[in-house]
Amino acid sequence: MLRNPAEKYRPFPAVRLTGRKWPSRTIDAAPVWMSTDLRDGNQALIEPMNAAQKLEYFEMLVAIGFKEIEVGFPSASQTDFDFVRKLIDERRIPDDVTIEVFVPSRAELIARTFDALEGAPRAIVHLYNAICPSFRRIVFQQSKDEIKALAVEGTRVIKEYAQARPGTRWTFQYSPETFNTTELPFAREVCDAVAQTWRPTRNHKMIVNLPASVEAATPNVFADQIEWMHRNLGYRDSIVLSVHPHNDRGTAVAAAQLALMAGADRIEGCLFGNGERTGNVDLVTLAMNLDAMGIDIGLDFSDLAAIRRVAERCTRLPVAARHPYAGEVAMRGTRAARDADADGDQCGASSRDRAEDCVTA
């Protein structure tokens, strides 16, 4: 710890956004949910899941109600490649579920990815490359134009492979990795160039996914960034605007909720917040927060104890006892409240009635 942290750290710059609308909005519908437990969550584990564990987890996600599931990074791992093939060859993907795979903007890895997806009825191909100043300067040593060209070339190659395989319904997804620490005009420029190459339509949209790759600001700043992109992206009516919040500052759930108010249509995350470093946004907490607002979330978390057991067994990660909804302490409190409701019904007043009295008072 520094005596004067200002010697090393600077406040995150504010977004120049006039007339921001998200602060006055409320969430009134669930987003499109995308589970990345089997990709982002899995690659963050000390010991990644084996095929049997991945299949058990996949089937649990399907039972919960996820319609989009990122199942792996097939060009980076033989285990992931084989798992994608298993799902396709054994016809384990329900008709209403779309699998997603992750790939960097490299031609040979894109080719390998399409080998893994051969014969899939539907698939999302998720392309990414880092675009922020530090990556451009330190990692790639490339200009803005070169970074943009890398994204465009990856998109062109994916489009070419997809057009050669008309038996699959392809959806294209692009993530400008490190979006949240990138200049907004450049992030828009890259996303627009990618969309111009893919040419989405209102009837066949593409996904633009905006990750907080390393959470670096307060949730209101992320909401401003999302609203700025929502307002300024080209092809906006042909784009599903997605967010992928990480939890480095412990505010991923708040950032995701404000992002929905700011124009996001879709959320990527993991059950119980698994993922790199401090994790992805916790989809259980986020979804249950919306459920508690009276929103039909489209997911079934009625048996959180069973879901928690499968997640803990497959990932070898314990769910914290004080997790807001699924922790042992929280569930014990839920059981106690349920028992109190039953007792209250017998004497004419439930705990919910008493809680409403407190709010009224």
Retrieve residue 12's tokens: 């995150």
Quick one: how far is CA 119 from the chain centroid?
26
What amino acid is encoded at 259 in this protein?
A: A
Whether pTM > 0.95 for this model: the answer is no
Residues written for the chain: 361
CA distance 176 to 205: 17
CA nearest 260: which of 232, 235, 287, 298?
287
Domain assignment present for 1 = no
Domain assignment present for 346 = no
H/E stretch holding 129 reads: strand 122-130
pLDDT at res. 355: 43
Domain assignment present for 10 = no
Query: In this structure, what CATH number is given to the domain that contains residue 278?
Result: 3.20.20.70
Scan for tokens 């959470």, then name that residue: 215
- Segments forming the whole domain that contains residue 282: 21-302
Domain assignment present for 231 = yes
Handedness of CA 344, 348, 354, 356 (dihedral sign): positive
H/E stretch holding 182 reads: none
Scan for tokens 């633009």, then name that residue: 208
Quick one: how far is CA 190 from the chain centroid?
20
The domain tally of the chain equals 1
Partners of residue 157 on adjacent β-strands: none
pLDDT at res. 335: 63
pLDDT digit string (tens) for the chain, length 361 residues: 888 999 898 899 999 999 999 999 999 999 999 999 999 999 999 999 999 999 999 999 999 999 999 999 999 999 999 999 999 999 999 999 999 999 999 999 999 999 999 999 999 999 999 999 999 999 999 999 999 999 999 999 999 999 999 999 999 999 999 999 999 999 999 999 999 999 999 999 999 999 999 999 999 999 999 999 999 999 999 999 999 999 999 999 999 999 999 999 999 999 999 998 999 999 999 999 999 999 999 999 999 999 999 999 999 999 999 999 999 998 886 666 566 666 655 544 444 454 444 444 4
Partners of residue 268 on adjacent β-strands: 34
H/E stretch holding 44 reads: none
pLDDT at res. 134: 95
pLDDT at res. 14: 94
Domain assignment present for 326 = no
Contact 274, 37 (CB under 8 A): yes
pLDDT at res. 331: 84
CA distance 38 to 322: 24
Scan for tokens 């709010």, then name that residue: 359
Retrieve residue 5's tokens: 């942290």
Domain assignment present for 3 = no
Domain assignment present for 16 = no
Burial zone of 355 (CB within 10 Å; 0-12 exposed, 13-18 middle, 19+ buried): exposed
Domain assignment present for 101 = yes
H/E stretch holding 282 reads: none
H/E stretch holding 10 reads: none
